[in-house]
């Protein structure tokens, strides 16, 4: 196979990736390549077997987004690589909820002058959530934090490509650290690493082999530790009003149980399901 993937027919794609992915997924992968890839790649003659280098990666099971270096999020291209998680449709659903939430309201002039941020994205990765919030809402600045420098490099590149770099402030910090201090922001959003070690066997091989474990697996002894830390920090912050979380469906009912956390009674807890009917999203609102 000397031709680049973009020059190959649907039949060739199906033949080469047969057994690795379902037929419908292979067809979707080809469409993604035609959208984001280059059909003018040079032929590869110095690869063993004469296989084009992109095909060599694809047939090994490497996610097509990493081979392309691009993924779609909220209809826009986003740079990704092995140092960041590939954005998922359920995260788009979380962002759509936030942007369409009637609870959002502009910051006051006093808040803007004092440097209060509209949004805080905790664990930004490629920056997909932060950038979509900045692009879809004109209120104030967005703070995007991550503990990995490589992730923040992707986020910076994407912020510039999306034209929102002036409104997105990147910060390298770890919200799981005992000495972490939350920036002052009204609205918090997070898709944290929430997979438990016991769930690893349920993940697709290409996810386990290629996507960064720090972005997948919850730090600490249990996924609930991540939610406990985030919710605790949100409650302690004098600036925060609402927190939207992407949930691990396995623990969603426990996470959304106020009695489990011993939280104050002036909180409103709202859980939503994703398109697959899984308990996937939670909003916590401070009232009064």
What is the count of structural domains for the chain?
2
Q: What is the pLDDT of residue 114?
A: 87
SS3 188: strand
Asked whether residue 189 falls in the same domain as residue 243, the answer is: yes
| 170 in the same domain as 55 | no
Pairwise CA distance, residues 40 & 6, whole Å: 8
Q: Is residue 76 part of a domain?
A: no
Residues 176, 266 within the same domain: yes
- Examine the pLDDT at 1 and tell me if it is beyond 70: no
Are 151 and 216 members of one domain?
A: yes
Q: Residues 72-83: pLDDT tens digits?
A: 999 999 999 999
pLDDT by residue (tens digit) across 213-255? 999 999 877 899 999 999 999 999 999 999 999 999 999 999 9
End-to-end CA distance of the chain: 65
Q: Provide the pLDDT for residue 95.
A: 98
Residues 160 and 19 in one domain: no
Q: Is residue 67 situated within a structural domain?
A: no
Domain encompassing residue 202? 82-286
* CATH code of the domain containing 140: 3.40.50.150
- 169 and 136: one domain? yes
Whose CA is closest to 246, among 162, 118, 121?
Answer: 121
Q: Is residue 69 part of a domain?
A: no
Looking at the fold, whether 36 and 103 belong to one and the same domain comes out as no
> Which of 66, 136, 64, 63 has the alpha carbon at shortest distance from 94?
136
Q: How confident is the model at residue 47 (pLDDT cuts 50, 70, 90)?
A: low
Q: Is 151 in the same domain as 30? A: no
Task: Evaluate whether residue 143 is within a structural domain.
Answer: yes
For residues 91 and 208, state if they share a domain: yes
DSSP 108: P
Same domain, 51 and 93: no
**Cβ atoms < 10 Å from Cβ of 57:** 17
Judged against a pLDDT cut of 80, whether residue 272 lies above it is answered with yes
Residue 2: per-residue pLDDT:
64
Instruction: Quickly state the pLDDT bin for 40 (edges 50, 70, 90).
Output: very low
> Quick one: what percent of the chain has pLDDT higher than 90?
77
Residues 190 and 229 in one domain: yes
Q: From CA 56, how far away is CA 67, in angstroms rounded? A: 10
Q: And the tokens for 118?
A: 């509209």
Examine residue 114 and state whether it is found in any structural domain, yes or no.
yes
Q: Is residue 230 part of a domain?
A: yes
Using pLDDT thresholds of 50, 70 and 90, give the confidence band for residue 260.
Answer: confident
More confident residue, 133 or 108: 133
- Tell me: do 113 and 151 sit in the same domain: yes
Structure tokens at 99: 């942007």
Q: How far apart are CA 31 and CA 51, in angstroms?
A: 21
pTM of the model: 0.93
What integer is the mean pLDDT of 51-76? 93
Residues 6+ apart with CB under 8 A from 91: 73, 128, 129, 191, 246
What is the pLDDT averaged over residues 264-275? 93
pLDDT, tens digit, for every residue of 6-28? 889 999 999 999 999 999 999 99
Q: Which helix (H) or strand (E) holds 190?
A: strand 185-190
Strand 242-246 to strand 279-286: parallel, antiparallel, or no bridges (unpaired)?
A: antiparallel
Backbone angles phi, psi at 257, to 5 degrees: -100, 105
pLDDT attached to residue 220: 78
């Amino acid at each position: 196979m000397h031709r680049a993937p973009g020059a190959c027919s649907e039949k060739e794609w199906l033949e080469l990736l047969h057994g690795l992915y379902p037929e419908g997924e292979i067809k979707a992968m080809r469409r993604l390549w035609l959208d984001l890839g280059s059909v003018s790649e040079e032929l590869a003659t110095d690869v063993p077997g004469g296989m084009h280098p992109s095909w060599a990666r694809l047939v090994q099971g490497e996610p097509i987004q990493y081979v392309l270096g691009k993924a779609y999020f909220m209809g826009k291209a986003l740079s990704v690589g092995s140092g960041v998680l590939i954005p998922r449709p359920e995260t788009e659903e979380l962002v759509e909820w936030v942007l369409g939430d009637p609870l959002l309201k502009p910051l006051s002039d006093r808040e803007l002058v004092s440097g209060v941020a509209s949004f805080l994205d905790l664990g930004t990765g490629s920056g997909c959530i932060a950038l979509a919030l900045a692009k879809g809402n004109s209120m104030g600045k967005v703070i995007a934090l991550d503990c990995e420098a490589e992730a923040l490099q992707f986020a910076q590149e994407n912020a510039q490509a999306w034209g929102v770099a002036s409104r997105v402030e990147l910060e390298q910090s770890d919200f799981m650290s005992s000495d972490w201090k939350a920036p002052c922001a009204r609205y918090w959003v997070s898709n944290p690493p929430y997979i438990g070690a016991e769930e690893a066997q349920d993940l697709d091989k290409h996810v386990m082999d290629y996507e960064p474990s720090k972005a997948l697996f919850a730090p600490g002894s249990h996924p609930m530790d991540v939610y406990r830390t985030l919710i605790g920090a949100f409650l302690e912050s004098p600036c925060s009003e609402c927190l939207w979380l992407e949930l691990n469906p396995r623990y969603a009912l426990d996470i959304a149980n106020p009695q489990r956390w011993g939280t104050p009674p002036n909180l409103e807890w709202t859980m939503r399901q994703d398109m697959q009917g899984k308990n996937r999203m939670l909003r916590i609102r401070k009232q009064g």
